[in-house]
Structure 1
Amino acid sequence: MATRPDITDDAATTPLGGTRAQALQRLQVGVSLLVGIILIVGLANVIEDRAKLAEQRAVPEAAATVEAVPSAPAVDPLADAGVTPDLPTEDAALPAAPAAAPAPAAGAGAQGVDGR
């Protein structure tokens, strides 16, 4: 095997994982990220516990401090404002009863087909 001239002795002896200093730096970064995640999860747990505690201490149904005054509900707010549309009254809305057809005269029905 021939050695390549562009590879130095340091590069040939360096393992694939890098130098010891690089491995130590990767280890420090990994541990610090792990500690940071644990701190964030712990902080979220504390916030959640405090929220539950505050919810338990809160009055579920607070009584009103002012007595409610009963008021009549508005039946038709448009009518109260005076902007009601012109609608026909109920009497005008009903169709007129059809006029009864006049009864035939007594003698008219006795005639024959040819009119005699």
Structure 2
Amino acid sequence: MALFGLIPDRTPEPPVSAGETAEAARLAALQPAHPGPRELRAQAVHRLQIGIFGLAGMLLLVSLANVIMDRAKQVERTTTPAAAAASPSASPSAANDPLVDMGVAPELPVTGGAKPAARPTTRPAGN
């Protein structure tokens, strides 16, 4: 905060006797040292850099989300008429299939005929 003039300048301490120097050294080690003006400026610049990079990151994140939403709306606009046209001609069994409703599985036509039987394969008898 010395950058803004809130911390007063350091004043030299009065001389202390030899017996009190050990106690003063112990107390000085417990108290945090005030950073100098160069260190305070470096901290301020670091905070400013972090803030600018954070704002830039959020701007990129919001821009990416906007692009994704625009593409999703564009795809929805182009595929909605095709889905509405296919809906009236849907077969009765497709209404019971949720995968076809979501568009995950293709809609297969239901035929009235019987299913073809699988033909058994014959192996040659000469092993």
TM over 0.5: no
Taking CA–CA contacts closer than 8 Å with sequence separation of 6 or more, which of the two structures ends up with the larger relative contact order?
A: 2
TM-score (norm 1): 0.44
TM-score (norm 2): 0.41
